[in-house]
Amino acid sequence: RADAEALRRTEARLRRVQRIGRVGGFEIDLRSGINHRSAEYMSLHGDTAEETQERHADWVRRLHPDDRDRAERAFLHAVSDESSVTQYAQEYRVVTAAGETRWISARAEIERDAEGRALFMRGAHVDVTEQKAA
């Protein structure tokens, strides 16, 4: 019971830090295509701040039209089985459901099996809109 309470407090602190830092976490199972998104991630993208599962197409739909092809191409190259990439980083804009444009800095690690096939991508989205405006 004490361990469960300690875990709850640790998770609450992490969520607070993510909210303050405008950082959202994600994990993609590259074999099933299931994308786990933290509540903070969804909030950064202008959606309800609830942990959820999405598909690749949901992320692509939010990409700014001027960044969509480039951002998706970079992602697909990074996670392709022919690639040896294990560190992923790029910046692009997303458009929220309310029509607001936000700049996202995405950073992630790609886990590969012994044959080099991409299995998981785990990382963070940081809202850098204010820095871009400055």
pLDDT tens-digit series, residues 27-58: 999 999 999 999 999 999 999 989 999 999 99
| pLDDT at site 94 | 98
Q: Which long-range contacts (CB under 8 A, 24 or more apart) does 86-92 make?
A: 86/110, 86/111, 86/112, 88/121, 88/123, 91/128, 92/63, 92/64, 92/67
Closest CA to 16 of 46, 47, 39: 39
Q: Which residue has the higher pLDDT, 3 or 130?
A: 130
Question: Model confidence over 76-122: pLDDT tens digits?
Answer: 999 999 999 999 999 999 999 999 999 999 999 999 999 999 999 99
Closest CA to 59 of 131, 123, 13: 123
| pLDDT at site 8 | 76
Q: How would residue 1 be classed by pLDDT, with cut points 50, 70 and 90?
A: confident
